Amino acid sequence: MLTKGAVEDLIMQHLSREPGGAAPAGKKVPAVVKKVFLSDWELRRIYKPGSKTVQVPSNVIVSPLSLDWLDYNGITVLRG
């Protein structure tokens, strides 16, 4: 059975192929840098307990459920 990380790696390898070129060497893609959308589960993974802020890239879309969870717990999202 494939893990979530293995599936993500396979998808990223397939999408990052250049037309007419060879596939890039398989390496681990950073969790947040290449993401466009952050789900509730992914945001909770990068949140450090006890912190009142979460740093995310400026181009990331944060899910509405995540925003509700952050607001309820008084956590501020820092973009950039």
23-64 residue pLDDT tens? 555 555 455 456 788 888 888 888 888 889 999 888 889 999
CB 62 within 8 A of CB 54: no
CB 66 within 8 A of CB 39: yes
Burial category of 38 from C-beta neighbours within 10 Å (exposed 0-12, middle 13-18, buried 19 and up) = buried
Q: What is the pTM of this model?
A: 0.51
Cα distance between residue 49 and residue 40, in whole Å:
15
Position 64 scores a pLDDT of 92
Sign for the pseudo-dihedral over CA of 17, 8, 31, 38: positive
